[in-house]
A and B are shown apart, each in its own frame.
Chain A
Amino acid sequence: MTRWVMRTAPDEVTAQPTGVREWSGGADLQGSLRGLGMNWDFRAEALPSALAGTDAVALQPISSGHRPLAGKRVKRTLMLRVRPGTPEDVVARFEAELAAMPELIHTIHSWALGGADPTIPGASTAWTHVFEQEFTDLDGLTGEYLLHPYHWTRVDRWFDGENPASIVEPGPAHLIRWAQGAVLR
């Protein structure tokens, strides 16, 4: 069953659609960028008709890690688009450098890097990748995650439009919300 992430306006989705599992969502927290008001996670074979027209991304797993965390946590979802025409070996290096972040940044608990599958009917074609993490609290994200030198001396160049090494198009969506339990299993 495919995992999906989705961003919507606050009143766009009012109930869990039929045929959807592991449904959870929450309001975008302050510090989110390009959120629409709410962000969601769920599993479904296909996009339910009730969610047609939303920005819902069907995920193809690339890599992930599981680190158990009890109770409430901060769920962070980064939707991004790699520039068309970027060589495959460069994209692979980008993916490997993102996947190495949890090895170095210890406030990251469970995480997942996925590719967007645009072939599923209704799935968003706006993004190519989604990078997700869970944190104990907001400080884990705004503190060690942002401040670790691996982040800003190395990984950030993929996103920095001033850097000739950048491959991520401007305007990724950085969504953060509270989740009552595990989202990344």
Chain B
Amino acid sequence: MTADPVQRVHIRDHVVLPGAAVDEWLTGWRTDYLPAARERGLRLTQWWRSYAGPDTVAVDMLWEIEGIYTFYRARTMAGADASVARFWARTDELAVHRDRRVLEPYPLEPGMLEPDRPASADHASSAAEPQRRKS
């Protein structure tokens, strides 16, 4: 198997809830979601609360998991666990908005933030190259 080129995959969950429901949702999250997520290899590294409006609160959670193959394995485990689907179904009944993004680390290199340095766009440039005929 090819060596995993990424040491950490990050997953960001963004859930906007009615303000009055946040504490109860977090209690359910701690008991019904977090333990199995840890067993799948997910580590919660940071989380935030912020007002999304006068009566809504956003909860942002940043997870990390060791590598892309482990990420796929965790996905498969979550898909086979009915309690995960139940938890998100309950959340989606309550949530005003929800989003999940999976993020590739973009390591900072010396000088990268200097204004005269051209941006690296490895992925964007490869996307623009015509590679084959479509029919």
Contacts and interface: CB of A to CB of B under 8 A. Distances in A.
Given A150-B123, A152-B68, A161 B102 contact: no
18 contacts: A65-B135, A66-B133, A102-B132, A103-B127, A103-B132, A104-B123, A106-B131, A139-B1, A139-B2, A146-B69, A147-B4, A147-B68, A153-B103, A156-B102, A157-B100, A157-B102, A161-B78, A163-B100
Interface stretch (B24-32, B43-51, B84-92, B112-120): B84-92
Secondary structure of the A side of the interface? helix
Interface of A: 63-67, 99-100, 102-104, 106, 139, 142-144, 146-147, 149-150, 152-153, 156-157, 159-165, 170
Contacts of A156: 75, 102
Contacts of B92: 164
Contacts of B2: 139, 142-144, 147
Contacts of B98: 164
Contacts of A170: 79
Interface of B: 1-2, 4-6, 9, 68-69, 71-72, 75, 78-79, 84-85, 88, 92, 98-104, 123, 126-127, 129-135
A27 to B, nearest CB: 20
Select the residue from B84, B102, B127, B129 with max chain A CB neighbours within 10 A. B102
A149 B104 contact: yes
Given A63-B134, A147-B5, A162 B72 contact: no
B9 A152 contact: yes
Given A67-B132, A102-B131, A162 B102 contact: no
A64 B134 contact: yes
Contact of A164 (B4, B84, B100, B127): B100
Nearest to B130: A103
